[in-house]
Amino acid sequence: MRGRRRKDKDGNIRLPVLADFSAIEVFVAIMETRSISKAALRLNTAPSVISHRLTTLETLAQVKLFNRTTRIVSPTEAAERLYRHCIEIIHRIDAAEQELWGANAVLSGDLRIAAPVYFGMQSIAPILPIFVRRYPALKVSLQLSAQAADLISEGIDLAIRFQGKVDIKNGDRMILENERVFCASPRYLDEHGTPRVPLDLQNHDCICSSTPVPFATWSYREKGVAGVIRVLPMMQSDNVLVMIEATRQGLGIAQLGRRVIEPFLASGELVTILDAYAPDPNYLIATAPDSNYMPQKAIAFVDFLVEHLAKPRGVG
């Protein structure tokens, strides 16, 4: 690669911009983190080294790739075009190595995973050490947040999310079906009565996910027909743990996934209601930054989750 030379339209000799794979790695790291310091952290080197490599890249390219301030690095249109090619190169190299080594391939490098807070704590954290021991050459990082991660800017390799459908064309891979239920504590039902039909929920205290509008919309299904009902939340949160605790302590009724409340159902602290009107399930899915490609290390983690979490029937 170092011997490549290219003439521009004026006949001037251009040196290769991406002279080696490390140049591609540096460029992609800056592109995906939007930060010199974060790119350096990802590549385990000093920010000064990354800054110098970027200056060299721009000098060789004779075009500005990033607009830089003291706080942010933003890509130019030229960088956006170059990034698409670099990602394809990385994917092809990864695929070539996997095909070359096959079952003998050793997964290594960084694996950065993003997941919802409570699900990550309840379901992923207890089994994560098993995965780490299985692939000791991988450096695994689990980021838990109530907000959906920006996979590219945050340098996330794999996001674990709950959503209403599985979009295969978008590269989604289903891990499990998440059964959703209406639930409350026996104490609340003793004090306020048990709703018999979804419309009764409008006369009850409801614990809901945070919403920018005053009301929340809950879905349900009656004799195979989907319906929705608006309820006025008496409490809202973007954290399912907060919602569970409020429901467990008798503040109201919530619509939650069965998997996350299973321990409280088993102990009797919570009970399901309106079972004949249970809403459609949602799905725990895994997705990568590139909808057309999932790295082998990410596939290994998804397979691991399916192995340890998925069950024959829909669970929540």
Task: Report the distance separating Cα 122 and Cα 239, nearest Å.
Answer: 13
Q: Kindly report whether the global pTM for this prediction surpasses the value 0.75.
A: no
Work out the burial of residue 111: count CB atoms within 10 Å of its CB; fewer than 13 is exposed, 13-18 middle, 19 or more buried: buried
Q: Which residues of the chain have pLDDT under 70?
A: 1-19, 98-99, 101-105, 148-154, 311-316
pLDDT tens for each residue of 132-141: 999 998 999 9
Which of 175, 183, 208 is closest to 282 using CA atoms?
175
**What is the 8-class DSSP label of residue 275?**
G
DSSP symbols for 36-58:
HHHHHHHTTS-HHHHHHHHHHHH
pLDDT tens for each residue of 239-272: 899 999 999 999 999 999 998 899 999 999 999 9
